[in-house]
Amino acid sequence: MSYPFTDTHAHLYLEEFRDDKDSVIRRAIAQGVEKIFLPNLDSSSLAGMNNLAEQYPGTCYAMIGLHPTSVKENFREELQRIEKELDRDHYIAIGETGIDLYWDTSFLKDQQESFRRQIGWAKQHSLPIVIHARDSFDEIFAILDQEHDGQLRGVFHSFTGTREQAEKILAYGFYIGINGIVTFKNAGLDKVAAAIPTNRLLIETDAPFLAPVPHRGKRNESAFVIQVAEKMAEIHGLEVAEIAHRTTENARTLFSKAF
């Protein structure tokens, strides 16, 4: 029996999948993953991402945005290139965007500006926003406290924060995206994950990164979202089918253009 899983975050257009993306997607579909959402990185990833979305209508859906680790000296030109895409009806969300201070702190001001611009796009086009937060919750919350208007909707993807940070996200009305990190013994995310109500939970892979146990350390793929669902089912004391059902309903509410 298969359930309708939704992988709300996967970079299946990257080099890691060059030789076998079709079998990766077929494998996901065969195991009940009905929809896969593709977050953009920068202007260089657009063509590959869009090709995949066009090749798999009804399964793969593209987002549009500039990733915080792609914010460099040329970020204003990058934003301009990406902004041109906004008129296409094809994109289901703005993302991924946010702030990342783990890899590099030297572009903080530019990352903040880029994040604000993309929040503006989300508001203008009534699209949900997909937020990447790494060592940057305070900086992101400071911007959202100003920009949040009751209309802005979104998800903190690959969430690894504290319970207080989760509560702050829930208070904005945002969703929380959980991936394979929840299966890592040393991550300690299971306790926080237990406090996330299932009506605000999304599951994702972030493939090719962060493969869940028992695939940890290997290339991740969309079929492995099932291991994330299994772990969340265990944490919440629910059937896997119920987690699949609830998280897909949440995906339908947030990413309504993909349904």
- For Zn ion, the binding residues (CB under 5 A) are 39
Q: What six digits make up the tokens of 187? A: 């991550």
| Cis amide linkage into residue 208, ω under 30° from 0 | yes
Nearest residue to Zn ion, using CB? 39
Q: How far is the CB of 128 from Zn ion (least distance, A)?
A: 15
Q: How far is the CB of 150 from Zn ion (least distance, A)?
A: 27
Instruction: Report helix angle 137-147 to 108-125, nearest 10.
Output: 40
In the block, tokens 């990352």 appear at: 111
CA distances from 239 to 160, 165, 230, 231, 234 (A): 23, 27, 8, 10, 8
Q: Which is nearer to Zn ion, 3 or 11 (CB)?
A: 11
Q: What six digits make up the tokens of 211? A: 């493969």
Count CB atoms within 10 A of the CB of residue 253: 14
Q: Which is nearer to Zn ion, 191 or 218 (CB)?
A: 218
Q: Which is nearer to Zn ion, 39 or 208 (CB)?
A: 39
Q: What six digits make up the tokens of 130? A: 């997909």
Q: Which is nearer to Zn ion, 67 or 231 (CB)?
A: 67
Q: How far is the CB of 9 from Zn ion (least distance, A)?
A: 6
Q: How far is the CB of 97 from Zn ion (least distance, A)?
A: 11
Tell me how far apart the alpha carbons of residues 259 and 248 are, in angstroms, rounded to a whole number. Answer: 10
Q: Which is nearer to Zn ion, 67 or 117 (CB)?
A: 67
Q: How far is the CB of 2 from Zn ion (least distance, A)?
A: 25
Q: How far is the CB of 10 from Zn ion (least distance, A)?
A: 8
| SS3 of residue 37 by DSSP | strand
Tell me how far apart the alpha carbons of residues 203 and 245 are, in angstroms, rounded to a whole number. Answer: 11
Q: Which is nearer to Zn ion, 3 or 38 (CB)?
A: 38
